[in-house]
Amino acid sequence: MSAKSDIDFLKIPKHIAVIMDGNGRWARKQGEQRIAGHHSGVSSVKEVAEACAELGVQYLTLYAFSTENWNRPRAEVEALMDLLVDSLRKEMKTFHDNNIRVQAIGNLSALPAHCIRELHKTMEETAGNTGLRLVLALSYSAKWEITTAVQQIAREVEQGTLAPEAISEAVIEQHLATAGFPDPELMIRTSGEHRISNFLLWQLAYAEFYFTEVLWPDFRKEHLYEALVDFQQRERRFGKTSEQLEQ
């Protein structure tokens, strides 16, 4: 029986974040080059996005390419950029069929020009969709995001438009790349690694973490259902005691 039958649809998280890890190891197991794992991982993105749209998840943020990934071999980086463009073009029907709006966070100006054009085109063409927001974290790192936010706040203080004592958590959040998004309630990482790798450091402060040994290219809807069932069995206290939550 599918784990989907155990999901409480009244307790679906608004925002799920995913570190899609294991493409390279999957490729090695198949005797293929690393890029073959990235290509296979696109099917997992499609499955998970469709499942989230069906379940009523509002935001799905995928760690697609980190600022550290620029240090990978040039051939792999170029292949990943081409794969991004190709995937956005091929999946436009999927986005519209599932009422998915595509958005992106990160230092997008660092992307190649053809990637920027295709990304903007996809975001514009899906802007009218009102269901799941599929947020691609591209050329993204949390340290870059927080540093950029601090620089913006410092400029406002210098200009006299923001008093230092007025800087609050809310003000900081307004300067983050995710301004206006709810914080993720569930963060999933595949491939058995147990770290968050510079991903949404501020936003994951109270998220539940779910780690699975499944490599990303093998991750399917059923694995997402299992993660949701596990998430719904946890008690989220946000610093309070269990007794306080029962009052």
Q: Which residues are catalytic?
A: 21, 69
- CA-CA distance, 203 to 221, in Å (whole number)? 25
Question: What are φ and ψ of residue 100, in 5° steps?
Answer: -95, 130
- CA-CA distance, 71 to 11, in Å (whole number)? 40
3-state secondary structure of 135: strand
- What is the residue-wise DSSP string for 44-79? HHHHHHHHHHHHT-SEEEEEEEEGGGGGS-HHHHHH
Closest CA to 146 of 178, 176, 180: 176
Closest CA to 212 of 237, 229, 236: 229
With beta carbons less than 8 A apart as the criterion, state whether 237 and 107 touch.
no
- Enter the tokens of residue 40: 């296979």
Classify each residue of 113-138 as buried b or exposed e, where b means 16 or more C-beta atoms within 10 Å of its C-beta: eebbebbeebeeebeebebbbbbbbb
- CA-CA distance, 175 to 35, in Å (whole number)? 35
Length of the chain: 247
